[in-house]
Structure 1
Protein backbone atom coordinates (compact mmCIF):
# COMPACT_ATOMS: atom_id res chain seq x y z
CA UNK A 1 0.00 0.00 0.00
CA UNK A 2 1.24 3.51 -0.72
CA UNK A 3 2.39 5.79 2.08
CA UNK A 4 4.04 9.22 1.94
CA UNK A 5 7.33 7.42 2.69
CA UNK A 6 7.20 4.80 -0.09
CA UNK A 7 5.83 6.89 -2.95
CA UNK A 8 7.79 8.99 -5.43
CA UNK A 9 6.33 12.21 -6.81
CA UNK A 10 6.95 13.68 -10.24
CA UNK A 11 6.33 17.26 -11.31
CA UNK A 12 5.20 17.18 -14.94
CA UNK A 13 6.86 20.01 -16.86
CA UNK A 14 7.29 18.28 -20.20
CA UNK A 15 4.61 19.95 -22.30
CA UNK A 16 4.84 22.43 -25.16
CA UNK A 17 2.87 25.11 -23.27
CA UNK A 18 1.32 26.39 -26.49
CA UNK A 19 -1.29 28.42 -24.60
CA UNK A 20 1.50 30.08 -22.60
CA UNK A 21 2.97 31.40 -25.83
CA UNK A 22 5.37 28.47 -25.98
CA UNK A 23 7.12 29.59 -22.78
CA UNK A 24 8.12 26.73 -20.52
CA UNK A 25 5.35 26.87 -17.92
CA UNK A 26 7.37 25.56 -15.01
CA UNK A 27 9.91 28.34 -15.49
CA UNK A 28 7.46 31.20 -16.05
CA UNK A 29 7.65 33.69 -13.19
CA UNK A 30 4.87 33.91 -10.64
CA UNK A 31 5.33 36.39 -7.79
CA UNK A 32 9.02 36.73 -8.67
CA UNK A 33 9.81 33.00 -8.68
CA UNK A 34 9.61 30.20 -11.25
CA UNK A 35 6.20 28.53 -11.07
CA UNK A 36 7.79 25.13 -10.36
CA UNK A 37 9.28 26.58 -7.16
CA UNK A 38 5.78 27.13 -5.77
CA UNK A 39 4.93 23.48 -6.53
CA UNK A 40 8.17 22.24 -4.93
CA UNK A 41 7.50 24.38 -1.83
CA UNK A 42 4.18 22.57 -1.35
CA UNK A 43 5.50 19.07 -2.08
CA UNK A 44 8.78 19.14 -0.13
CA UNK A 45 7.24 18.99 3.36
CA UNK A 46 5.12 16.04 2.19
CA UNK A 47 7.70 13.80 0.47
CA UNK A 48 11.46 13.55 0.10
CA UNK A 49 11.19 11.84 -3.30
CA UNK A 50 10.56 14.53 -5.97
CA UNK A 51 11.74 14.34 -9.58
CA UNK A 52 10.91 16.48 -12.60
CA UNK A 53 9.78 15.41 -16.06
CA UNK A 54 10.93 18.03 -18.59
CA UNK A 55 11.74 17.96 -22.27
CA UNK A 56 13.17 21.46 -22.59
CA UNK A 57 15.46 23.58 -20.41
CA UNK A 58 16.66 20.49 -18.56
CA UNK A 59 19.77 22.27 -17.27
CA UNK A 60 17.61 24.87 -15.53
CA UNK A 61 15.28 22.25 -14.11
CA UNK A 62 18.34 20.36 -12.84
CA UNK A 63 18.90 23.19 -10.36
CA UNK A 64 15.68 22.02 -8.66
CA UNK A 65 16.41 18.29 -8.62
CA UNK A 66 16.68 15.17 -10.77
CA UNK A 67 15.23 15.58 -14.26
CA UNK A 68 14.24 13.05 -16.92
CA UNK A 69 12.64 13.51 -20.34
CA UNK A 70 9.95 11.63 -22.22
CA UNK A 71 10.91 8.37 -23.96
CA UNK A 72 8.31 9.01 -26.67
CA UNK A 73 8.88 11.76 -29.21
CA UNK A 74 6.51 14.58 -30.21
CA UNK A 75 5.21 15.61 -26.79
CA UNK A 76 2.57 12.98 -25.99
CA UNK A 77 1.39 15.12 -23.05
CA UNK A 78 1.06 14.07 -19.42
CA UNK A 79 0.90 10.40 -20.38
CA UNK A 80 4.37 10.72 -21.89
CA UNK A 81 5.71 11.93 -18.57
CA UNK A 82 3.92 9.17 -16.70
CA UNK A 83 5.30 6.58 -19.13
CA UNK A 84 8.86 7.90 -18.73
CA UNK A 85 8.52 7.97 -14.93
CA UNK A 86 7.61 4.28 -14.85
CA UNK A 87 10.92 3.56 -16.57
CA UNK A 88 12.99 6.12 -14.68
CA UNK A 89 11.76 5.30 -11.16
CA UNK A 90 11.57 1.91 -9.50
CA UNK A 91 8.86 2.74 -6.95
CA UNK A 92 5.69 0.68 -6.92
CA UNK A 93 3.56 3.83 -6.47
CA UNK A 94 4.32 7.07 -8.31
CA UNK A 95 2.41 10.33 -7.91
CA UNK A 96 2.16 13.16 -10.41
CA UNK A 97 1.36 16.86 -10.24
CA UNK A 98 1.47 19.50 -12.98
CA UNK A 99 4.06 22.29 -12.86
CA UNK A 100 1.36 24.93 -13.36
CA UNK A 101 -0.62 24.25 -10.15
CA UNK A 102 0.94 26.60 -7.57
CA UNK A 103 -1.66 26.08 -4.83
CA UNK A 104 -1.71 22.29 -4.34
CA UNK A 105 -3.06 20.89 -1.04
CA UNK A 106 -0.62 20.71 1.87
CA UNK A 107 -1.98 17.22 2.61
CA UNK A 108 -2.02 15.97 -0.99
CA UNK A 109 0.47 13.11 -0.58
CA UNK A 110 -1.01 11.70 2.64
CA UNK A 111 -4.59 11.95 1.43
CA UNK A 112 -3.86 10.40 -1.96
CA UNK A 113 -1.89 7.56 -0.33
CA UNK A 114 -4.52 6.83 2.33
CA UNK A 115 -7.31 6.54 -0.26
CA UNK A 116 -5.71 3.64 -2.14
CA UNK A 117 -6.77 0.02 -1.70
CA UNK A 118 -4.72 -3.03 -2.68
CA UNK A 119 -6.53 -3.26 -6.04
CA UNK A 120 -6.32 0.46 -6.87
CA UNK A 121 -4.51 1.17 -10.14
CA UNK A 122 -4.93 4.95 -10.15
CA UNK A 123 -6.10 7.48 -7.56
CA UNK A 124 -7.15 10.83 -9.02
CA UNK A 125 -7.82 14.06 -7.14
CA UNK A 126 -11.38 15.42 -7.31
CA UNK A 127 -12.10 19.05 -6.44
CA UNK A 128 -15.80 18.51 -5.73
CA UNK A 129 -16.88 19.32 -9.28
CA UNK A 130 -14.28 17.76 -11.58
CA UNK A 131 -11.54 15.17 -11.48
CA UNK A 132 -8.03 16.57 -11.81
CA UNK A 133 -6.51 13.94 -14.12
CA UNK A 134 -2.91 15.15 -13.83
CA UNK A 135 -2.97 15.09 -10.02
CA UNK A 136 -2.73 11.37 -9.62
CA UNK A 137 -1.09 8.48 -7.80
CA UNK A 138 -0.68 5.31 -9.81
CA UNK A 139 0.58 1.77 -9.40
CA UNK A 140 3.27 0.67 -11.82
CA UNK A 141 1.17 -2.34 -12.89
CA UNK A 142 -0.61 -0.02 -15.33
CA UNK A 143 2.53 0.19 -17.52
CA UNK A 144 1.46 -2.48 -20.07
CA UNK A 145 -1.95 -0.79 -20.50
CA UNK A 146 -0.29 2.61 -20.80
CA UNK A 147 2.18 1.37 -23.42
CA UNK A 148 -0.57 -0.24 -25.48
CA UNK A 149 -2.65 2.91 -25.18
CA UNK A 150 0.20 5.11 -26.42
CA UNK A 151 1.10 2.66 -29.20
CA UNK A 152 -2.49 2.96 -30.43
CA UNK A 153 -1.93 6.71 -30.75
CA UNK A 154 -4.30 7.57 -27.92
CA UNK A 155 -3.49 10.62 -25.78
CA UNK A 156 -6.69 11.33 -23.81
CA UNK A 157 -5.71 10.63 -20.26
CA UNK A 158 -9.22 9.91 -19.00
CA UNK A 159 -9.72 7.16 -21.60
CA UNK A 160 -6.74 5.30 -20.16
CA UNK A 161 -8.08 5.75 -16.64
CA UNK A 162 -11.37 4.16 -17.66
CA UNK A 163 -9.43 1.01 -18.60
CA UNK A 164 -7.97 0.83 -15.07
CA UNK A 165 -9.32 0.46 -11.55
CA UNK A 166 -9.56 4.18 -10.83
CA UNK A 167 -10.69 5.81 -7.61
CA UNK A 168 -11.21 9.51 -6.93
CA UNK A 169 -9.89 11.27 -3.85
CA UNK A 170 -12.14 13.98 -2.43
CA UNK A 171 -10.57 17.41 -2.08
CA UNK A 172 -13.89 19.30 -2.19
CA UNK A 173 -12.81 21.08 1.01
CA UNK A 174 -10.03 22.71 -1.05
CA UNK A 175 -11.70 23.47 -4.39
CA UNK A 176 -9.20 26.19 -5.34
CA UNK A 177 -6.15 24.01 -4.77
CA UNK A 178 -6.07 22.84 -8.37
CA UNK A 179 -6.12 26.16 -10.20
CA UNK A 180 -3.75 25.69 -13.09
CA UNK A 181 -2.29 28.56 -15.05
CA UNK A 182 -2.28 27.96 -18.79
CA UNK A 183 -2.18 31.44 -20.31
CA UNK A 184 -0.29 34.69 -19.63
CA UNK A 185 -3.66 36.27 -18.67
CA UNK A 186 -4.38 33.58 -16.04
CA UNK A 187 -0.84 33.95 -14.71
CA UNK A 188 -1.17 37.72 -14.39
CA UNK A 189 -4.55 37.54 -12.69
CA UNK A 190 -3.40 34.85 -10.25
CA UNK A 191 -0.24 36.81 -9.43
CA UNK A 192 -2.36 39.81 -8.48
CA UNK A 193 -4.35 37.65 -6.06
CA UNK A 194 -1.25 36.39 -4.21
Structure 2
Protein backbone atom coordinates (compact mmCIF):
# COMPACT_ATOMS: atom_id res chain seq x y z
CA UNK A 1 0.00 0.00 0.00
CA UNK A 2 1.45 3.41 -0.90
CA UNK A 3 2.33 5.86 1.81
CA UNK A 4 -0.08 8.65 2.79
CA UNK A 5 -3.07 6.74 1.50
CA UNK A 6 -5.51 8.75 3.59
CA UNK A 7 -5.52 12.56 3.22
CA UNK A 8 -6.13 13.54 6.84
CA UNK A 9 -4.27 13.31 10.14
CA UNK A 10 -4.67 10.33 12.43
CA UNK A 11 -4.93 10.87 16.19
CA UNK A 12 -4.37 7.84 18.42
CA UNK A 13 -6.19 8.43 21.71
CA UNK A 14 -4.12 7.24 24.67
CA UNK A 15 -5.16 9.64 27.42
CA UNK A 16 -7.62 7.45 29.29
CA UNK A 17 -7.29 6.26 32.89
CA UNK A 18 -6.95 2.54 32.02
CA UNK A 19 -8.70 1.89 35.34
CA UNK A 20 -9.93 -1.57 34.35
CA UNK A 21 -6.45 -2.63 33.25
CA UNK A 22 -4.91 -1.32 36.46
CA UNK A 23 -2.02 0.32 34.58
CA UNK A 24 -1.54 2.51 31.54
CA UNK A 25 -2.41 0.13 28.69
CA UNK A 26 -0.74 2.40 26.13
CA UNK A 27 2.61 1.58 27.77
CA UNK A 28 2.19 -2.21 27.75
CA UNK A 29 4.47 -4.12 25.34
CA UNK A 30 2.82 -5.35 22.16
CA UNK A 31 3.94 -7.47 19.21
CA UNK A 32 7.66 -6.75 19.53
CA UNK A 33 7.23 -3.08 20.40
CA UNK A 34 8.10 -1.69 23.82
CA UNK A 35 4.65 -0.10 24.08
CA UNK A 36 1.22 -0.44 22.51
CA UNK A 37 1.43 3.26 21.65
CA UNK A 38 4.55 2.62 19.55
CA UNK A 39 2.90 -0.38 17.85
CA UNK A 40 -0.13 1.68 16.87
CA UNK A 41 1.97 4.58 15.68
CA UNK A 42 4.26 2.36 13.58
CA UNK A 43 1.41 0.68 11.74
CA UNK A 44 -0.72 3.80 11.21
CA UNK A 45 1.99 6.33 10.37
CA UNK A 46 2.46 5.11 6.76
CA UNK A 47 -1.27 5.38 6.05
CA UNK A 48 -1.88 9.05 6.84
CA UNK A 49 -0.62 12.54 6.07
CA UNK A 50 0.46 12.72 9.71
CA UNK A 51 -0.06 10.65 12.84
CA UNK A 52 -0.11 11.83 16.46
CA UNK A 53 -0.72 10.34 19.90
CA UNK A 54 -3.16 12.14 22.17
CA UNK A 55 -2.05 11.83 25.81
CA UNK A 56 -2.89 13.36 29.16
CA UNK A 57 0.82 13.82 29.77
CA UNK A 58 3.93 12.59 27.98
CA UNK A 59 5.43 11.26 31.22
CA UNK A 60 6.55 7.65 30.76
CA UNK A 61 6.14 7.68 26.97
CA UNK A 62 9.01 7.22 24.47
CA UNK A 63 10.46 10.61 23.55
CA UNK A 64 10.64 10.04 19.80
CA UNK A 65 6.89 9.95 19.09
CA UNK A 66 4.76 13.01 18.16
CA UNK A 67 2.35 13.78 20.98
CA UNK A 68 -0.64 16.02 21.50
CA UNK A 69 -0.76 16.56 25.29
CA UNK A 70 -4.13 17.59 26.70
CA UNK A 71 -4.74 21.17 27.66
CA UNK A 72 -3.82 21.16 31.39
CA UNK A 73 -6.90 23.25 32.17
CA UNK A 74 -9.02 20.18 31.32
CA UNK A 75 -8.41 17.91 34.28
CA UNK A 76 -10.78 15.08 33.33
CA UNK A 77 -9.32 12.00 31.62
CA UNK A 78 -11.66 11.90 28.65
CA UNK A 79 -11.36 11.96 24.85
CA UNK A 80 -13.02 15.38 24.88
CA UNK A 81 -9.72 17.03 25.81
CA UNK A 82 -7.91 15.15 23.07
CA UNK A 83 -10.34 16.31 20.40
CA UNK A 84 -10.03 19.92 21.52
CA UNK A 85 -6.23 19.80 21.49
CA UNK A 86 -6.16 18.04 18.12
CA UNK A 87 -8.40 20.54 16.35
CA UNK A 88 -6.74 23.55 17.96
CA UNK A 89 -3.19 22.33 17.31
CA UNK A 90 -3.46 20.72 13.89
CA UNK A 91 -5.76 23.13 12.11
CA UNK A 92 -7.27 20.19 10.26
CA UNK A 93 -10.84 20.22 9.00
CA UNK A 94 -11.22 16.57 9.95
CA UNK A 95 -9.23 13.88 11.76
CA UNK A 96 -9.35 10.12 12.00
CA UNK A 97 -9.66 9.14 15.67
CA UNK A 98 -8.69 5.71 16.99
CA UNK A 99 -8.33 4.44 20.52
CA UNK A 100 -4.85 3.15 21.34
CA UNK A 101 -6.33 -0.14 22.57
CA UNK A 102 -7.92 -1.19 19.28
CA UNK A 103 -4.92 -2.76 17.53
CA UNK A 104 -6.89 -4.71 14.91
CA UNK A 105 -8.65 -1.86 13.10
CA UNK A 106 -7.06 -2.02 9.66
CA UNK A 107 -6.73 0.03 6.48
CA UNK A 108 -9.86 -1.54 5.00
CA UNK A 109 -11.94 -0.22 7.91
CA UNK A 110 -10.46 3.26 7.56
CA UNK A 111 -11.03 3.27 3.80
CA UNK A 112 -14.67 2.25 4.28
CA UNK A 113 -15.25 5.05 6.78
CA UNK A 114 -13.67 7.61 4.46
CA UNK A 115 -15.80 6.43 1.56
CA UNK A 116 -18.91 7.46 3.53
CA UNK A 117 -17.61 10.86 4.61
CA UNK A 118 -18.87 14.18 3.23
CA UNK A 119 -18.68 17.88 4.05
CA UNK A 120 -22.31 17.81 5.20
CA UNK A 121 -21.49 15.50 8.12
CA UNK A 122 -19.99 16.08 11.56
CA UNK A 123 -18.66 12.54 11.96
CA UNK A 124 -18.51 9.07 10.45
CA UNK A 125 -18.42 6.31 13.06
CA UNK A 126 -17.86 2.55 12.91
CA UNK A 127 -20.68 0.32 14.14
CA UNK A 128 -21.04 -3.43 14.65
CA UNK A 129 -23.79 -5.63 15.98
CA UNK A 130 -22.32 -5.10 19.44
CA UNK A 131 -22.74 -1.33 19.25
CA UNK A 132 -21.11 1.85 18.03
CA UNK A 133 -17.37 2.56 18.28
CA UNK A 134 -17.00 6.31 18.87
CA UNK A 135 -13.21 6.11 19.00
CA UNK A 136 -12.99 4.63 15.54
CA UNK A 137 -14.16 7.29 13.17
CA UNK A 138 -13.77 10.56 11.33
CA UNK A 139 -14.51 13.77 13.23
CA UNK A 140 -14.97 17.20 11.64
CA UNK A 141 -13.91 20.58 12.98
CA UNK A 142 -17.60 21.51 13.11
CA UNK A 143 -17.67 19.64 16.44
CA UNK A 144 -14.95 21.71 18.14
CA UNK A 145 -17.35 24.18 19.77
CA UNK A 146 -19.46 21.29 21.05
CA UNK A 147 -16.37 19.60 22.51
CA UNK A 148 -15.40 22.85 24.22
CA UNK A 149 -18.86 23.08 25.78
CA UNK A 150 -18.64 19.47 26.92
CA UNK A 151 -15.28 20.11 28.59
CA UNK A 152 -16.58 23.25 30.30
CA UNK A 153 -19.59 21.41 31.74
CA UNK A 154 -17.83 18.13 32.55
CA UNK A 155 -20.03 16.21 30.12
CA UNK A 156 -17.85 13.72 28.25
CA UNK A 157 -20.43 11.31 26.81
CA UNK A 158 -19.36 10.93 23.18
CA UNK A 159 -22.28 8.69 22.29
CA UNK A 160 -24.87 11.18 23.45
CA UNK A 161 -23.15 14.05 21.68
CA UNK A 162 -22.99 12.08 18.43
CA UNK A 163 -26.70 11.23 18.66
CA UNK A 164 -27.44 14.96 18.43
CA UNK A 165 -25.22 15.69 15.43
CA UNK A 166 -25.00 14.86 11.72
CA UNK A 167 -23.41 11.44 11.95
CA UNK A 168 -23.23 8.55 9.52
CA UNK A 169 -22.71 5.10 11.00
CA UNK A 170 -20.91 2.52 8.89
CA UNK A 171 -21.72 -1.10 9.68
CA UNK A 172 -19.07 -3.81 9.87
CA UNK A 173 -19.62 -7.53 10.34
CA UNK A 174 -16.37 -8.54 12.01
CA UNK A 175 -16.68 -7.69 15.69
CA UNK A 176 -13.11 -8.75 16.50
CA UNK A 177 -11.64 -5.94 14.41
CA UNK A 178 -12.87 -3.52 17.06
CA UNK A 179 -11.79 -5.48 20.15
CA UNK A 180 -10.77 -3.20 23.02
CA UNK A 181 -8.03 -4.16 25.45
CA UNK A 182 -9.75 -2.96 28.61
CA UNK A 183 -8.89 -5.90 30.86
CA UNK A 184 -5.77 -7.99 31.36
CA UNK A 185 -7.35 -11.10 29.83
CA UNK A 186 -8.28 -9.11 26.70
CA UNK A 187 -4.71 -7.87 26.39
CA UNK A 188 -3.35 -11.40 26.79
CA UNK A 189 -5.80 -12.72 24.18
CA UNK A 190 -4.73 -9.99 21.76
CA UNK A 191 -1.07 -10.94 22.21
CA UNK A 192 -1.90 -14.54 21.31
CA UNK A 193 -3.94 -13.42 18.33
CA UNK A 194 -1.06 -11.32 16.99
CA UNK A 195 1.37 -14.21 17.51
CA UNK A 196 -0.76 -16.43 15.27
CA UNK A 197 -0.74 -13.90 12.44
CA UNK A 198 3.00 -13.12 12.44
> Residue in 2 aligned with 1:42?
43
Could you tell me which runs of 5 or more consecutive residues in structure 2 were left unpaired when the two chains were aligned: none
Report the 3-state secondary structure (helix = DSSP H, G, I; strand = E; otherwise coil) of the residue aligned with 2:111.
helix
Q: How many residues align?
A: 189
Greater RCO, 1 or 2 (C-alpha within 8 Å, sep 6+): 1
| Deviation (angstroms), 1:109 | 3.0
Kindly report the root-mean-square deviation, in angstroms, between the aligned alpha carbons of the 2 structures: 2.1
Could you tell me which runs of 5 or more consecutive residues in structure 1 were left unpaired when the two chains were aligned: none
> Residue in 1 aligned with 2:181?
181
Report the 3-state secondary structure (helix = DSSP H, G, I; strand = E; otherwise coil) of the residue aligned with 1:131.
strand
CA distance in 2 between counterparts of 1:53 and 1:15 reads 10
CA distance in 2 between counterparts of 1:81 and 1:135 reads 14
> Residue in 2 aligned with 1:10?
11
CA distance in 1 between counterparts of 2:125 and 2:14 reads 18
CA distance in 1 between counterparts of 2:186 and 2:175 reads 17
CA distance in 2 between counterparts of 1:148 and 1:18 reads 25
TM-score normalised per structure 1:
0.87
TM-score normalised per structure 2:
0.85
| Deviation (angstroms), 1:4 | 5.0
> Residue in 2 aligned with 1:51?
52
Are residues 1:152 and 2:153 paired?
A: yes
Give the ranges of 4+ consecutive aligned residues of structure 1 lying more than 4 Å apart after TM superposition. none
